[in-house]
Structure 1
Amino acid sequence: MKNLVDLHTHSTASDGIYSPTELLSHAHEAGLKVMALTDHDSTNGLDEALEAARQYDIDLLPGIELNTDFSGGEVHVLGYFLEYKRPAFQHILQSLRNAREHRGQRMVEQLNEAGIHITWERVREIAQGSVGRPHVARALLEAGYVQSIPEAFEKYIGNGQVGYVPRYKLAPIDAVRLIASANGLPVVAHPYDHPGVIRLQEWLPDLCKAGLVGLETYYGYYSTEQETTLLQLAKIYGLIPTGGSDFHGPGIHPTPLGGRYVPYEAVERLKAAAAARQGQEPPTFELPHPVEE
């Protein structure tokens, strides 16, 4: 069955390899009819992506992905149909990107102090947009310290390694509320990758009360058994099963652009939920603690 939908992709506005226009070109070549751009902590690629989507006759859903932390690890939260130009929303995103920038600089400093020589200037050049650990990893690869991106995480910038720096801690419920503050539709991303389904079920009631509308079910390499479990969980909590490839570029994630089948029903249900919120004044949101600039 040919796949027409990919609701989880990244561009150079965060940590993807392709610009938004290039990404839409590849989506067209892959035969996609619906795509969401979900860059980390950034909507800076959306205007360009929307223009390119018109050129390639692709229905583009404006999105984002927020990284959050809890006591046992991290959870990612996707947002769809954002009213992303709201000033208060953009102000908070800029604060989160500033925190990423500061973290990246400290990572480079720690690597240099350990005799691993890469420059912050090169990391910024690689990033083009919002800085993330993958950009530091690519600088390490370029400098010959590793043979692959995963090796860079394992040896140098993963948790507990010499270049690791903790990030600004945003809780999953705060990410849900932040997305809701832009009338967006919050969705828990790749639930098996971080908290695990058992742990996730502890939080779902509170996340749903805060505005959660979906659960990423059709994800990358998830097995049929995992997909079935997530579908059952989505049904119990009245959540929309969504999905996508989590595409950053070739060789970064195992699933190619459009490589995971996502039922078109997911798009229809998201559109209906977005239409129900249209014209409403969303709740306000403030970061729970200051961002280190």
Structure 2
Amino acid sequence: MANTIDLHTHSTASDGLYSPTDLLQQAQQAGLKVLALTDHDSTEGIVEASEAAQRLGVEFIPGIELNADVDRSEIHVLGYYLEYQRPEFQSILKTLRDARVSRGQRMVELLNEEGINISWDRVRELAQGAVGRPHVAKALMEAGYVQSIPEAFDKYIGNGCHAYVPRYKLTPEEAVRLINSANGLAVMAHPITVPGLDELQRWLPGLQKAGLVGLETYYGPYTHKDEEALLSLASRYNLIPTGGTDFHGPGIHPTPLGGRFVPPEAVERLKALAASRRGKTPPAFELPAPVEEK
């Protein structure tokens, strides 16, 4: 069965390799009918992507991806159908993006201290939009220290490596509530990539209470067994099973754009829920103070 939906993609507005326009052109060429742009901590690519989608006849969903921390693991939370123009929401995103800049600068400093000579100016040039670790990884590749982005994470900037620097920390519940503050729909991204099913089941009740509405069930490398387990959890907690490729561009994730089947029902359910919230006053959200690193 041909796939026509991808609900997890990134552009140069965060750490993707393609501009929003180029991403939509590739989506059309891949036969996609529906695409969500879910850049990290940024909605800067949404207007361009939306305009390109209209020209190309692709249904577009404005989205975002927020990173959160729990029990020394990461949880990523996707947001769909955001009222992203809300000033309070944009102010918080700017704070998160500014923290990414500080984080990236510190990573470069730590690499330089180890004799790994890349420049912060080059990382910024590579980023174009919000800075992310893939931009540091690409600078390492350019300088000849690694042959691939995964190798850069494994050797230098992944969790536990010398040049790893923690992010501005949100809890998963805070990430869900931040998305809700823009009347968005919060969906847990790649839910068993890091924590595993046992921990996932422990976290889901609290996340659902915070406002989680979906579970990314159809994801990149997930097996049929993974899908079945996640579908069971989604049914138990009345969550919408969604899916996507986490597409950033060649060499970052193995699944090509549109390369994972996503049932049309996922979009139908998200769209209906978004319509039920439209025009309502969303709950307020206050960004917590950053945690001081030791």
Asked if Structure 1 and Structure 2 have the same fold, meaning a TM-score greater than 0.5 normalized by the shorter chain, the answer is: yes
**Range into which the TM-score falls when normalised by the shorter chain:** over 0.9
Question: Does the residue aligned with 1:199 lie in a helix, a strand or coil?
Answer: helix
What's the counterpart of residue 20 of structure 2? 20
**Displacement of 1:291:** 7.6
Question: Does the residue aligned with 2:288 lie in a helix, a strand or coil?
Answer: coil
**Displacement of 1:162:** 2.1
Q: Which moved more, 1:153-162 or 1:28-37?
A: 153-162
Gapped regions of structure 1 (runs ≥ 5): none
Superposition pairs for residues 243-282 of structure 1, below 5 Å?
Answer: 243-282=243-282
Q: Is the 8 A contact 1:72 1:195 kept in 2?
A: no
Question: Does the residue aligned with 1:216 lie in a helix, a strand or coil?
Answer: strand
What's the counterpart of residue 124 of structure 1? 124
1:256 aligned partner, one-letter code: P
Q: Is the 8 A contact 2:148 2:251 kept in 1?
A: no
1:139 aligned partner, one-letter code: A
1:118 aligned partner, one-letter code: I
Q: Counterparts of 1:69 and 1:210 in 2: how far apart (Å)?
A: 15
The C-alpha deviation readout for 1:159-212, integer Å capped at 9, x for no partner, is 222211111111000000000000000000001112212111112112111111
What's the counterpart of residue 50 of structure 1? 50
1:249 aligned partner, one-letter code: G
Superposition pairs for residues 1-293 of structure 1, below 5 Å?
Answer: 1-290=1-290
**Displacement of 1:5:** 0.3
**Displacement of 1:113:** 1.0
Q: Is the 8 A contact 2:243 2:262 kept in 1?
A: yes
**Displacement of 1:290:** 3.8
Q: Counterparts of 2:147 and 2:72 in 1: how far apart (Å)?
A: 30
1:222 aligned partner, one-letter code: Y
2:106 aligned partner, one-letter code: R
Q: Counterparts of 1:291 and 1:198 in 2: how far apart (Å)?
A: 27
Q: Is the 8 A contact 1:95 1:291 kept in 2?
A: no
Q: Which aligned runs of 4 or more in structure 1 are off by greater than 4 angstroms?
A: none
Aligned residues: 292
Q: Counterparts of 1:71 and 1:221 in 2: how far apart (Å)?
A: 24
**Displacement of 1:284:** 0.2
1:170 aligned partner, one-letter code: L
Gapped regions of structure 2 (runs ≥ 5): none
**Displacement of 1:72:** 3.1
Question: Does the residue aligned with 1:213 lie in a helix, a strand or coil?
Answer: strand
Q: Counterparts of 2:61 and 2:158 in 1: how far apart (Å)?
A: 32
Q: Is the 8 A contact 1:96 1:291 kept in 2?
A: no
How large is the Cα RMSD of the aligned pairs? 0.9
Identity of counterpart residues, as a percentage? 71
Q: Is the 8 A contact 1:37 1:61 kept in 2?
A: yes
Q: Counterparts of 1:119 and 1:260 in 2: how far apart (Å)?
A: 37
The C-alpha deviation readout for 1:88-139, integer Å capped at 9, x for no partner, is 0000000000110000000001111111000000000000000000000000
Q: Is the 8 A contact 1:137 1:149 kept in 2?
A: yes
Q: Counterparts of 1:93 and 1:133 in 2: how far apart (Å)?
A: 18
Question: Does the residue aligned with 2:6 lie in a helix, a strand or coil?
Answer: strand
**Displacement of 1:278:** 0.7
2:258 aligned partner, one-letter code: G
Q: Is the 8 A contact 1:219 1:245 kept in 2?
A: yes
Q: Counterparts of 1:271 and 1:160 in 2: how far apart (Å)?
A: 40
Q: Is the 8 A contact 2:79 2:179 kept in 1?
A: yes
Q: 1:206 to 1:6 in 2, by over 3 A?
A: same
**Displacement of 1:81:** 0.2
